[in-house]
A and B are shown apart, each in its own frame.
Chain A
Amino acid sequence: MQINAKGMHYRKLNAILKEAAASGVAHFELENVNGQRYLGTGLDRPVEIVVNGVPGNDLGAFMDGPTVIVRGNGQDAIANTMNAGKIVVHGHAGDVLAFGMRGGKLFIKGDVGYRVGIHMKAYNEQVPVVIIGGGAGAFFGEYMAGGVLVLLGLGYAPGQSLIGDYTGTGMHGGAIYIRGKVDPELLGKEVAVFEANAEDRAVLEPHLLEYCQEFGLDPAEINRQPFQKLVPVSHRPYGNLYAY
């Protein structure tokens, strides 16, 4: 189903998507999207939505199953509290991506803004995966509680930092993988840095392969540089704060 979204209010556009998905439409091509919020929000079946243009904030919020391909740049708060499915952005994206994300995948081709991966979480088989092709702003993985957050820095010069200040501040679960060197001055007090080992590579490999397939990249190129792994040094540091 093709929809010309030019000038269309987000409520109308999302109502059309929801109704058509419920009636069995499995593929959507959205043309001339510009700034419409909440695309894919709350959709709970594995439809595919191709977005041509710049989708508005909260793309895929609370999404539960669909695949969203953005042929353009993304804005803020993509995959907010997303539960399942996949979002692929063929450009850069903004701040607060994957906020409270609890499952599914988010692949960004370029750079991302501040506070990406804030409070991601995981439970049993529900493990959200976020892979970013470029670099990230400050507070990457802030308060992260679970999941996998990967920063590739493709096209970055050797020695150029992929992260901003306060990376992993307040982190208490999950893992952040960063390709290349990490400046310890930029890390929060709650994380420690290790060289990624064979076990970590095994975790990353299928996700990186899928990422490379989406963007037509060569996995060998990515693997040419080792990954650093950031993990929390404390487990649930505030677990007793309100309980005792």
Chain B
Amino acid sequence: MDQVFPRIPSGCAISGMIDRSGGRMTGEAIIASIALMHERSNGLGGGFAGYGIYPDFPEHYAFHLIYDSETARANTEAFLASRFAIDASEPIPTRPVAGILDPPILWRYFLAPKEELVHGKDRPADADDFTLRAVMHINHSIAGAYVASSGKNMGAFKGVGYPEDIGRFYRLETYAGYSWTAHGRFPTNTPGWWGGAHPFTILDWSVVHNGEISSYGINRRYLEMFGYTCDLQTDTEVVAYLFDLLGRRHGLKFQEICLALAAPFWKDIDRMPEPARQKLTAIRMVYGSALLNGPFSIIVGNRRGITGFNDRIKLRPMMAARKGDMVYMASEESAIIEVCSSPDEVWAARGGEPIVAELYDNAARKIARAS
């Protein structure tokens, strides 16, 4: 009984950065930033999302898969071949790293949906929806197979370990992207496993999250009505799907999504002038089941950029900084200073108010044209 249990002062770490002019950077800076907050994780999860990393396959859905077994891989590949043209298939390059034990089989595919299956009677008529259904099928119905990411020209790299070890394991120094996000995990309510590491993704949405989503059950049942199944055993999964539902399928602007997910309190809505009061009332009534309860700081990525976003009463930390075309967000200011020693501006995020940092229009057009 004389064993000593030292306190582990942890609480998850998130970091993100974007070059709004579209310039691409390797994964080294995001690893350095998240590594600085080592104390916030406990080695049970780390991960990254990079955007613009697959310029050779910009129009393909890049699937990153986590497999428990070769059987799971064979079953998944048979399923994928029935739905998509598989234009490339290869192991995700990794290197042995001391802190990463017993990694699963990690594979990536560059996929083009079979046109005849997308369109026609009872077909989704939309390649994104078609791909979404495939992701849900794999996660829900193929034993031992989990989709880490499924977006175009982006990828998630995640697993069990400290984030800096996960980043080296996946050789992120060999990729170049215009935006990156990262997560160091301290799992509280759910297991630390490879599929449960952040980021959580769907299509090109990715979410890294510090905190917990107390409304998970309500959000999950709401999403099930729209064809999203939650199989990854972690609350953050619902956030990625909510962004896809509200942002891509319902066409809400980013600010509006955040107003639905972290809606102002009724007492504040009642004090608003018209027409804001009416608009917020409508959003809360329509999207009541999408409201995220509980403490969170989140960085959401998609092809346009990254957005930092906190719960309404800011129960988790988030700092942001700007230097020229670069915008940074992180749980701690020091994690920004580690990779940007003299920013033009540093500020604290406010509860419920998103910090949106997107590619400039000409940079976004250029990246789209290149594809």
Interface residues of A (CB under 8 A from B): 10, 34-35, 37, 53-54, 56-57, 73, 75-76, 92, 94-95, 111, 113-114, 137-139, 165-166, 185
- As a 0/1 sequence over residues 298 to 331 of chain B, the CB contacts with chain A under 8 angstroms (1 = contact) are 0000000000000001100101000000000000
Select which of A75, A114, A137, A138 is within 8 A of B333 by beta carbon.
A75
Across-interface contacts of B9 in A (CB, < 8 A):
37
Which 6 pairs, one residue from A and one from B, show the smallest C-beta to C-beta distance? A35-B334, A54-B334, A34-B334, A114-B314, A35-B36, A113-B348
Cβ contact within 8 Å between A139 and B313: yes
> Is the C-beta of B68 less than 8 angstroms from some C-beta in chain A?
no
Cβ contact within 8 Å between A54 and B333: yes
Across-interface contacts of B334 in A (CB, < 8 A):
34-35, 54, 56, 75
Select which of B313, B332, B351 is within 8 A of A56 by beta carbon.
B332
Chain A, residue nearest B37 (CB): A35
A73–B321 Cα distance when bound, in Å, is 13
> Is the C-beta of B59 less than 8 angstroms from some C-beta in chain A?
no
Across-interface contacts of B292 in A (CB, < 8 A):
none
A139–B348 Cα distance when bound, in Å, is 15
Tell me which residues from 23 to 70 in chain B have a Cβ below 8 Å from any Cβ of chain A. Answer: 36-37, 39
Cβ contact within 8 Å between B314 and A35: no
Across-interface contacts of B346 in A (CB, < 8 A):
73, 92
Interface size bracket, B side: 20 to 34
Across-interface contacts of A165 in B (CB, < 8 A):
268
> Is the C-beta of B359 less than 8 angstroms from some C-beta in chain A?
no
Q: How far is the CB of B338 from chain A (nearest CB, A)?
A: 6
A195–B344 Cα distance when bound, in Å, is 39
> Is the C-beta of B337 less than 8 angstroms from some C-beta in chain A?
yes
Cβ contact within 8 Å between A114 and B337: no
Select which of A54, A92, A111 is within 8 A of B337 by beta carbon.
A54
Cβ contact within 8 Å between A76 and B317: yes
Q: How far is the CB of B8 from chain A (nearest CB, A)?
A: 13
Across-interface contacts of A34 in B (CB, < 8 A):
36, 334, 337-338
A211–B338 Cα distance when bound, in Å, is 30
> Is the C-beta of B291 less than 8 angstroms from some C-beta in chain A?
no
Across-interface contacts of B332 in A (CB, < 8 A):
35, 56-57, 75-76
Select which of B335, B350, B351 is within 8 A of A35 by beta carbon.
B335
Across-interface contacts of A114 in B (CB, < 8 A):
313-314, 351
Cβ contact within 8 Å between B333 and A94: yes
Cβ contact within 8 Å between A185 and B36: no
Select which of B36, B317, B338 is within 8 A of A94 by beta carbon.
B317
Across-interface contacts of B36 in A (CB, < 8 A):
34-35
A53–B332 Cα distance when bound, in Å, is 13
Cβ contact within 8 Å between B338 and A138: no
A236–B313 Cα distance when bound, in Å, is 25
Select which of A37, A54, A137, A185 is within 8 A of B348 by beta carbon.
A137
A56–B319 Cα distance when bound, in Å, is 13
Cβ contact within 8 Å between B314 and A137: yes
Q: How far is the CB of B295 from chain A (nearest CB, A)?
A: 11
Across-interface contacts of A92 in B (CB, < 8 A):
346, 348
Across-interface contacts of B313 in A (CB, < 8 A):
114, 138-139, 166
Tell me which residues from 338 to 357 in chain B have a Cβ below 8 Å from any Cβ of chain A. Answer: 338, 346, 348, 350-351
- 17 extra interface residue pairs, beta carbon distance < 8 Å, beyond A37-B9, A75-B334: A35-B36, A35-B37, A35-B334, A37-B39, A54-B333, A73-B333, A73-B346, A75-B332, A75-B333, A76-B332, A92-B348, A94-B317, A94-B319, A95-B317, A113-B314, A114-B313, A114-B351
